[in-house]
């Protein structure tokens, strides 16, 4: 029987084994192309995935099967709908349960990354988190196997699921039976890198040092993740804050704001540990992967700097109990690279500059000039769809930027809109937050530096794209040409 291979989807052996548990697993299966370039019929729909001798195929060196795209999607949907029943079935062993949870998690994360509107799949992500909390945490064998399995999955989709699952386990160790808090942490862990879908894979896998502009783009991804969530009710204020802060550090050298210590959400500190661990055990274009044990050893050097000491101690205990001293034993991992693209998660570090470069003279503002800050509800603290207004004094201004006082933080790398009144006319500009720090003033909690980028129209300024709009109109100020 001949079949156009372009109509077929590659399914790794491990994924096929997991999908065979679904009620819709009666699908036609093909083997990769023969000498004539045609896929070879292997099993008809009457037999399907459950009838496959996976051990024999793996022994022959075969790495994947081919399944019609429509059949595969139907099978994935059935497995997702039946996952809770699988996890609670005592006749299914822990490895198979973990493999099914992994497969569903990767599928959900893949759809979040590839959908035009990621918010359309947030209900699925929230339901998956609930299933994990109910079905995985009650069985330490399943959770331990998932931790072991995480080393074998390194696409962006599998990274998002792995961080969500590992964060769930660590949160349970720290908080005990507090499902609402654990749910928020798990969902934030799963959505933390959603913003990277807006970046080019070549940038995220770049092996040479990043330029200043590239670093700004990278450090925008926590903010972009929150923006892409829209106003979905699953993404609570707590979830959004944890996503925003997952690259912050205990010593204040993280991004996008440079918060430190107890200023960080507990969930943010948990995700920082699991995110770094999973990134370190994955192979990158510029380095080899680390063994899980070696990754944990290297992470110890960052305790108190990047990681919360008490949380890391709990993580080590969880890791030792789940993995032990040997290498990860699971050999039936789902290699999802073929389905979701190469892994390109990287923690692009860097310290903040203590001195801000100034390309043009600064003019101290002798009069109490104010900026009106418009917020669209994309960040925590503002109701969905509403515009807030904040009066922000300007400390100094130049043709390239300004320094303003703020009652609450803006995030480094965040894009804003600025209205300037030169006295003769009003001009709108796009700008970017270059730095934000705690203020020494008793009246204002934060100071921020904004760099002007280019002119825009008033309509562009009020579009949904920027998360803040800053209107400066009480006194004439210098206007970029």
Mark which of 87, 110, 131 sits at the end of a domain.
87
Query: Please, which pLDDT band fits residue 285 given cuts at 50, 70 and 90?
Result: low
Which residues fall within 8 angstroms of residue 76, CB to CB, at 6 or more apart?
Answer: 19, 22, 103, 104, 107
Are 385 and 227 a contacting pair, CB within 8 Å? no
Query: Does residue 295 lie in a domain region?
Result: yes
If one compares 398 and 334, the residue with the highest pLDDT of the two is: 398
pLDDT higher than threshold 80 for residue 375? no
Instruction: Give mean pLDDT, residues 326-343.
Output: 38
Lowest mean pLDDT across 90-94, 260-264, 338-342: 338-342
CATH for 134: 1.10.3210.10
Q: Tell me the two tokens of residue 213.
A: 């502009």
Q: What's the confidence (pLDDT) of residue 37?
A: 66
Question: What's the CA gap between 245 and 267, in Å, rounded?
Answer: 9
Mean pLDDT, the chain, whole residue set: 77
Give me the sign of the Cα torsion angle 72, 74, 76, 79.
Answer: negative
Which CATH number is 435's domain given? Answer: 2.30.110
Give the whole-number percent of the chain exceeding pLDDT 70. Answer: 75
What is the pLDDT, as a whole number, of residue 376? 35
H or E element that contains 470: strand 468-472
335 and 369 inside one domain: no
Report the pLDDT value the prediction gives residue 302, as an integer from 0 to 100.
Answer: 92
Q: Is residue 43 part of a domain?
A: yes
Q: Are 119 and 268 in a shared domain?
A: yes
Same domain, 137 and 83: no
**Same-domain check for residues 289 and 391:** no
Residues 277 and 178 in one domain: yes
CB 312 within 8 A of CB 200: no
pLDDT for 170 = 94
Specify whether the backbone of 474 is left (phi greater than 0), alpha (psi in -120 to 50) or beta.
alpha
Helices (H), 153-252: 156-175, 179-191, 201-204, 212-218, 221-228, 237-244
Residues 251 and 367 in one domain: no
Q: Provide the pLDDT confidence category of residue 243 given band limits of 50, 70 and 90.
A: very high
pLDDT number for residue 394: 76
| pLDDT 10s digits, 426-465 | 777 777 777 888 788 778 888 888 888 888 887 776 665 4
pLDDT above 80 (res 471):
no
DSSP letters along 71-85, please?
Answer: HHHHHHHHHHHHHHH
**Shared-domain flag, residues 116 and 15:** no
Q: At residue 450, what are phi and psi to the nearest 5 degrees?
A: -115, 135
Instruction: Give the confidence band of 468 by pLDDT, cuts at 50, 70, 90.
Output: low
Domain co-membership, 54 together with 101: no
Whole-number Å distance between alpha carbons of 457 and 469: 13
Q: Which of 8-17, 214-223, 469-478 has the lowest mean pLDDT?
A: 469-478
CB 225 within 8 Å of CB 160: no
Asked if residue 34 is part of any domain, the answer here is yes
Split into its structural domains, the chain has a count of 3
* Tens of pLDDT, residues 54-76: 888 888 888 888 999 889 999 99
Distances, alpha carbon 132 to alpha carbons 146, 169, 182, in Å: 11, 10, 11
The reply to whether 477 falls in a domain is no
Average pLDDT on 43-53 reads 87
User: Dihedral angle at the C-alpha atoms of 199, 212, 273, 181, nearest 10 degrees?
Assistant: -60
- 282 is a domain residue: yes
Binning pLDDT at 50, 70 and 90, where does residue 340 land? very low
Q: What is the pLDDT of residue 314?
A: 95
What whole-number distance in Å separates Cα of residue 244 and Cα of residue 238? 10
Give 155 or 77, the one with higher predicted confidence: 77
* Domain boundary, last residue among 59, 87, 115: 87
> Are 123 and 247 part of one and the same domain?
yes
| 205 and 262 fall within a common domain | yes
Last residue of a domain, one of 53, 87, 121: 87
Rounded to 10 deg, the angle between the 237-244 and 179-191 helix axes is 50
Asked if the structure places residue 480 within a domain, the reply is: no
Q: What is the mean pLDDT of residues 124-144?
A: 83
State mean pLDDT over 65-94. 89
> What is the model's pLDDT at position 219?
83
Residues 78 and 173 in one domain: no
Tell me if the pTM is above 0.75. Answer: no
Residue 374: pLDDT over 60: no
Domain carrying residue 430: 363-472
Structural domain contains residue 310: yes
Asked whether the predicted pLDDT for residue 385 surpasses 80, the reply is no
405 and 450 assigned to the same domain: yes
Confidence (pLDDT) at 208? 75
Helix (H) or strand (E) holding 309, with range, is helix 309-323
Q: Give CA–CA dist 360/351, Å, rounded.
A: 24
Q: Is residue 462 part of a domain?
A: yes
């Amino acid at each position: 029987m001949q079949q156009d291979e372009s109509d077929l989807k590659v399914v790794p052996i491990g994924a096929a084994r997991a999908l065979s548990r679904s009620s819709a697993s009666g699908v036609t299966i093909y083997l990769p192309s023969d000498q004539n370039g045609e896929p070879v019929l292997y099993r008809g729909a009457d037999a399907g995935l459950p009838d496959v001798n996976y051990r024999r195929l793996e022994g022959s060196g075969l790495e994947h099967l081919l399944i019609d795209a429509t059949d595969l999607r139907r099978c994935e949907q059935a497995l997702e709908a039946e996952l809770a029943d699988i996890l609670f079935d005592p006749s299914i062993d822990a490895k198979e349960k973990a493999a099914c949870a992994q497969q569903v998690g990767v599928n959900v994360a893949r759809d979040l990354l590839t959908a035009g509107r990621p918010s359309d799949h947030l209900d699925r992500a929230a339901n998956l988190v609930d299933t994990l909390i109910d079905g995985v945490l009650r069985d330490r064998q399943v959770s331990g196997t998932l931790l072991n399995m995480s080393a074998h999955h390194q696409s962006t989709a599998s990274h998002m699921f792995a961080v969500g699952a590992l964060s769930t386990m660590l949160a349970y160790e720290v908080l005990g039976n507090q499902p609402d808090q654990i749910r928020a942490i798990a969902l934030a862990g799963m959505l933390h890198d959603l913003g990277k879908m807006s970046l080019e894979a070549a940038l995220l896998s770049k092996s040479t040092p990043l330029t200043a502009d590239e670093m700004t783009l990278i450090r925008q991804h926590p903010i972009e993740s929150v923006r892409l969530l829209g106003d979905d009710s699953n993404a609570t204020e707590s979830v959004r804050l944890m996503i925003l802060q997952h690259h912050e550090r205990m010593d204040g050298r993280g991004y996008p704001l440079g918060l430190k210590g107890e200023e960080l959400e507990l969930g943010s500190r948990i995700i920082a540990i699991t995110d770094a661990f999973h990134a370190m055990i994955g192979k990158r274009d510029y380095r080899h992967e680390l063994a899980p044990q070696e990754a944990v050893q290297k992470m110890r050097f960052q305790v108190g700097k990047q990681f919360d000491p008490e949380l890391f101690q709990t993580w080590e205990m969880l890791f030792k109990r789940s993995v032990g001293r040997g290498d990860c034993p699971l050999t039936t991992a789902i290699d999802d690279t073929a389905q979701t693209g190469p892994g390109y998660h990287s923690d692009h570090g860097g310290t903040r500059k203590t001195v801000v470069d100034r390309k043009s003279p600064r003019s101290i503002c002798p009069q109490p000039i104010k900026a009106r800050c418009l917020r669209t509800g994309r960040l925590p603290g503002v109701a969905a769809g509403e515009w807030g207004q904040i009066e922000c004094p300007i400390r100094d201004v130049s043709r390239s930027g300004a320094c303003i006082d703020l009652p609450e933080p803006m995030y480094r790398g965040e894009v804003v809109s600025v209205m300037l009144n030169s006295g003769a006319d009003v001009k709108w500009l796009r700008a970017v937050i270059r730095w934000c720090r705690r203020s020494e003033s008793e009246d204002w909690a934060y100071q921020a530096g904004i760099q002007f980028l280019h002119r825009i129209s008033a309509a562009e300024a009020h579009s949904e794209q920027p998360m803040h709009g800053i209107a400066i109109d009480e006194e004439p100020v210098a206007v970029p040409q």
